[in-house]
């Protein structure tokens, strides 16, 4: 398998089909498709021409009628609406929910003002990343967070195990998994103006990473000004019975400019924004420091530690990691996951973790890990694709400037 | 073209669906539009979605309209050099779209006598003109009887319909 993007399953089968009995594989996939979970927006996706693919146990749209190229460009020009209901929303409650969460993540949760949030990483004992997550402090006794669909089971098991031990020692924390809610991501320059039609709250006072509980389209929602495209935008947690109406209202208020957008364009967008896809660009054995997320380790946490793997992570901050995530431009075919990265003399220095053709820049972009020393912007490298080596160079990320609505 | 037909993609090439999506409306024509891919008479087709046109001593090979449609915008094409042998059913190159990498298999065996160098500068020719400007290689067949094993236009059209219907 060459590619390992969001549609990795599709691609792996694409590759295998070249030589193997096509019918047998089709049948096998077909049987499993009936086991896939469907979000409440499934029928809306299909009615809008969504091409449904298996993703993390869910049947999700990889694209609609537009090409991935057009869809990506439209998000940056106008806006996109994504169904991200497969992701897992979770509330931690109790007067000790903050010290509890701080044992598991690198963020300074205590230091967050109520109504604000951040991207953070759940770490293991070795300092590796279990998952990335956007967390928000609702109040001092309530944290709302969203974890990846593909990591749901392991994340929940991990949190539960630590919660049991924490509460057995008298800590006050409990959880609620928001399976009664659906999650929509509205992204792009029209996200704010369109959503403003559907709420009385002044969205111009809600900045990047802020969190609010408010009525949208007449129903109580959780709103986080965040996303994973590099654009300004929102993630809206809405009661599932109201999700289809909200999606339709958003599309309608945008007069067709905001379009339903699938996982394909979502992957192009996050890659252009230089954001990690967990499972590709970040895994159990990669620390947040190696992944270039040192900024996400709260200042207080750097002094105090107190999270899983803190010794490893704090040491890496002090001494520098031995490998680092970098952005790359390259000639030739787009570099995909697992392509080898070499220095100019042909020596192995690392591996691509994800890559593709950038719809906005009209050239190949990729991210991967290289040995420290080869990580500086401008470093010339070779990238090996199907046995041939192509010129590449290390570059700063994001590839496409982000447009977050930051607090002035 | 080793393509997994995941979904009934018709996407960008079809004006009708693009126009409909811009208005944000559901297009009832969409479910029919998969039948609109062009299949030309006089060509032979492989079940991995390559075509071959054999007239005279040399056969021209490319990928079908149906294949380019499912792939989406082609951004890079990898081709062999002239003089290289190709074998029926084996990969001779690859096509990269925004979506995926796909092998291109040769529908017949023989020796490559010419490659379409325009594709290195303008890979999108495969989308805009899959049967003409977007041709990929010309081959001197070593075993012309292999052509018998390939599908004709009618058979290939039916093959595509069945493949789409099963996904």
Residues of A in contact with B100 (CB under 8 A): 3, 7, 10-11, 14
- β-sheet bridge partners, residue B165: none
Q: Indicate if the pLDDT at residue B128 is higher than 50.
A: yes
Say what the pLDDT of residue A3 is.
32
Which ipTM was obtained for this model? 0.75
Query: Which of A17, A52, A334 comes nearest B96 by C-beta?
Result: A334
CA A164 to chain CA centroid, Å, is 28
Mean pLDDT, residues A330-359:
96
Contact assignment for A7 to B99 by CB distance below 8 Å: yes
> What is residue A340's predicted lDDT score, i.e. its pLDDT?
98
Nearest to A7 among B21, B91, B100 (CB): B100
Question: What mean pLDDT do residues A169-179 have?
Answer: 98
User: Is the per-residue pLDDT at B26 higher than 50?
Assistant: no
* Across A246-256, average pLDDT: 98
DSSP 8-state code for residue A269: H
Average pLDDT across chain A, whole number:
92
A contacts of B102 (beta carbons < 8 Å): 14
State how beta strands B50-55 and B58-63 pair: antiparallel
| Higher-confidence position of A205 and B11 | A205
Q: Residue B21: is its pLDDT beyond 90?
A: no
Question: What is d(CA B40, CA A213) in angstroms, rounded to the nearest whole number?
Answer: 58
3-state secondary structure of A92: strand
Does pLDDT of A27 surpass 70? no
Chain B positions touching A252 (Cβ under 8 A) are 24
Say if the Cβ atoms of B17 and A53 lie within 8 Å. no
How many whole angstroms separate alpha carbon A12 and alpha carbon B103? Answer: 12
Distance from C-alpha of A197 to C-alpha of A66, rounded to nearest angstrom? 26
Average pLDDT of A263-267?
96
Q: Is the pLDDT of residue A350 over 60?
A: yes
For the segment A276-288, the average pLDDT, to the nearest whole number, is 97
Helix, strand, coil % (nearest 5) of chain A? Answer: 30, 30, 40
pLDDT given at position B55: 83
Residues of chain B in contact with residue A10, where contact means CB-CB under 8 angstroms, are 4, 6, 100
Give residue-wise pLDDT tens across range A6-24.
333 333 333 333 333 333 3
More confident residue, B13 or A232: A232
Q: How far is Cα A273 from Cα A277, in angstroms, rounded to an integer?
A: 11
Tell me: the pLDDT tens digits for B146-155?
A: 999 999 999 9
* Other Cβ atoms closer than 10 A to B22: 15
- Could you say which of A14, A49, A66 has the minimum Cβ distance to residue B3? A14
Instruction: Please tell me whether the peptide bond between A391 and the residue prior to it is cis, using omega within 30 degrees of 0.
Output: no
Query: Which band of pLDDT confidence, cut at 50, 70 and 90, is reported for residue B163?
Result: confident
The answer to whether A161 is annotated as binding is no
A259/B24 touch (CB, cutoff 8 Å), yes or no: yes
Residue A41 CB partners (closer than 8 Å, separation 6+): A83, A85, A182, A243, A244, A247
Cβ separation A69–B73 shorter than 8 A: yes
SS3 category, B84: coil
* Interface-testing mutation among A11, A67, A73, A267, with chain B (most B C-beta atoms within 10 A): A67
Mark which residues 197-226 of A lie under 8 Å from B by CB.
none
CA–CA separation, A374 vs A345, rounded Å? 13
Rounded to 5 degrees, φ, ψ at A380 are -80, 135
**Which pLDDT score, from 0 to 100, does residue B100 have?**
83
Q: For residue A32, name the pLDDT band (cuts at 50, 70, 90).
A: low
Q: Give me the mean pLDDT over the A188-195 stretch.
A: 98
pLDDT of residue A35: 87
DSSP character string of A365-376: EEEEEEETTS-S
Mean pLDDT, rounded, for A193-213: 98
Higher pLDDT: A146 or B71? It is A146
Dist. CA B133–CA B127, nearest whole Å: 10
Give the residue, B17 or A143, on which the prediction is more confident: A143
Closest Cβ–Cβ partner in A26, A30, A65 for B20: A65
pLDDT tens-digit map of A63-111:
999 999 999 999 999 999 999 999 999 999 999 999 999 999 999 999 9
Other CB atoms within 10 A of residue B154 CB: 10
What percent of chain B clears pLDDT 90, i.e. is strictly above it?
Answer: 65
pLDDT of residue B37: 84
Q: Which residues of B touch A384 (CB under 8 A)?
A: none
Chain B residues whose beta carbon lies within 8 Å of the beta carbon of residue A386: 78, 94
User: Is A194's pLDDT higher than 50?
Assistant: yes
Question: Could you tell me the sign of the dihedral formed by the alpha carbons of A214, A215, A217, A220, in that order?
Answer: positive
Three-state DSSP state, A339 = coil
- 8 Å CB contact of A357 and B21: no
Both ends of chain A: CA-CA distance in Å?
46
Inter-residue contact A327 to A397 (CB < 8 Å):
yes
Region of poorest pLDDT, from A165-174, A365-374, B7-16, B20-29 = B7-16
For the cut 90, the answer to whether the pLDDT of residue A342 exceeds it is yes
d(CA A307, CA A290): 17
The set of residues, in sequence order, having a beta carbon less than 8 Å from that of A16 and lying 6+ positions away, is A1, A25
A388 token code pair: 């041939």
The Cα of B40 is separated from the nearest Cα of chain A by a number of Å equal to 24
Of the given ranges (A312-326, A375-389, B10-24), which has the lowest mean pLDDT? Answer: B10-24
Contacts of A32 (CB under 8 A, 6+ apart): A54
**Percent of chain B surpassing pLDDT 70:** 78
Which of A183, A184, A191 shows the shortest CA–CA distance to A74? A191
Peptide bond into B150 cis (omega under 30): no
Mean pLDDT comparison of A207-211, B5-9, B34-38, highest-scoring range: A207-211
Tokens of B28: 């009832």
User: What mean pLDDT is predicted for residues A203-208?
Assistant: 98
pLDDT band at B6 (very low <50, low <70, confident <90, very high): very low
Cβ pair A135, A159 in contact under 8 A: no
**Residue where the block lists tokens 């965040």:** A226
C-alpha torsion B3→B6→B8→B12, nearest 10:
-60
Nearest CA among B131, B98, B96, B97 for reference residue B116: B131
What pTM does this model have? Answer: 0.86
CA distance A149 to chain B (A): 21
Partners of A365 in the beta sheet? A329, A356
Query: What is the C-alpha separation between B37 and B45, in angstroms, rounded?
Result: 14
Element (H, E) at A342: strand A340-342
Which one of A29, A44, A65 makes the best mutation probe of the B interface by having the most chain B beta carbons within 10 Å? A65
Length of chain A: 408
């Amino acid at each position: 398998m060459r590619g390992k993007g969001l549609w990795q399953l599709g691609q792996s089968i694409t590759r295998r089909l070249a030589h193997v009995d096509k019918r047998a594989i089709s049948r096998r996939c077909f049987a499993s498709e009936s086991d896939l979970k469907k979000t409440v927006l499934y029928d809306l996706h299909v009615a809008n021409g969504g091409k449904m693919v298996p993703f993390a146990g869910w049947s999700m749209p990889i694209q609609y009628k537009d090409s991935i190229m057009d869809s990506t460009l439209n998000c940056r020009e106008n806006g996109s609406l994504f169904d991200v209901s497969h992701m897992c929303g979770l509330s931690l409650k109790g007067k000790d929910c903050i010290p509890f969460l701080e044992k598991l993540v690198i963020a300074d949760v205590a230091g967050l003002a109520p109504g604000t949030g951040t991207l953070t990483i759940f770490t293991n004992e070795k300092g590796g990343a279990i998952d990335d997550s956007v967390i928000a402090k609702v109040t001092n006794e309530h944290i709302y967070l969203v974890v990846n669909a593909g990591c749901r089971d392991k994340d929940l098991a991990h949190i539960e195990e630590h919660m049991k031990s924490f509460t057995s020692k008298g800590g006050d924390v409990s959880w609620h998994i928001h399976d009664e809610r659906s999650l929509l991501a509205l992204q792009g320059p029209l996200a704010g103006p369109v959503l403003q039609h559907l709420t009385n709250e002044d969205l111009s006072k809600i900045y990047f990473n802020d969190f609010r509980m408010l009525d949208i389209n007449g129903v109580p929602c959780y709103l986080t000004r965040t996303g994973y495209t590099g654009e300004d935008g929102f993630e809206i947690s809405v009661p599932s019975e109201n999700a289809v109406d909200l999606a339709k209202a958003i599309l309608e208020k945008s007069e067709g400019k905001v379009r339903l957008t699938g996982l394909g364009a979502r992957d192009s967008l996050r890659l252009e924004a230089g954001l990690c896809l967990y499972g590709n660009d970040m895994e159990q054995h990669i620390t947040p420091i190696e992944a270039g997320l040192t900024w996400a380790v709260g200042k207080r946490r750097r002094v105090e530690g107190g999270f899983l793997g803190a010794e490893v992570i704090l040491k890496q901050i002090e001494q520098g990691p031995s490998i680092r995530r970098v952005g790359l431009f390259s000639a030739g075919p787009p570099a995909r996951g697992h392509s080898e990265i070499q220095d100019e003399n042909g020596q192995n220095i690392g591996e691509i973790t994800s890559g593709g053709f950038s719809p906005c820049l009209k050239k190949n972009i990729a991210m991967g890990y290289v040995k420290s020393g080869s990580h500086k912007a401008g470093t010339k490298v070779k990238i090996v694709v199907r046995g041939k080596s192509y010129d590449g160079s290390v570059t700063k990320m994001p590839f496409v400037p982000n447009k977050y609505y930051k607090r002035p | 073209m080793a393509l997994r037909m995941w979904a009934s993609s018709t996407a960008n090439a079809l004006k009708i669906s693009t126009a409909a999506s811009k208005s944000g409306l559901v297009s009832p024509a969409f479910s029919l539009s998969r039948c609109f891919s062009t299949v030309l008479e006089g060509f032979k087709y492989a079940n991995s979605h390559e075509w071959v046109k054999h007239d005279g001593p040399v056969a021209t090979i490319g990928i079908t309209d149906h294949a380019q449609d499912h792939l989406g915008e082609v951004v890079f094409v990898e081709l062999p050099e002239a003089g290289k042998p190709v074998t029926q059913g084996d990969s001779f190159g690859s096509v990269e779209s925004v979506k995926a990498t796909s092998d291109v298999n040769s529908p017949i065996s023989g020796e490559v006598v010419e490659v379409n160098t325009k594709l290195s500068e303008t890979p999108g020719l495969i989308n805009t003109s899959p049967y003409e400007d977007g041709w990929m290689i010309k081959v001197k067949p070593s075993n012309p009887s292999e052509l018998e094993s390939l599908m004709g236009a009618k058979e290939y059209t039916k093959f595509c319909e069945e493949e789409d219907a099963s996904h």
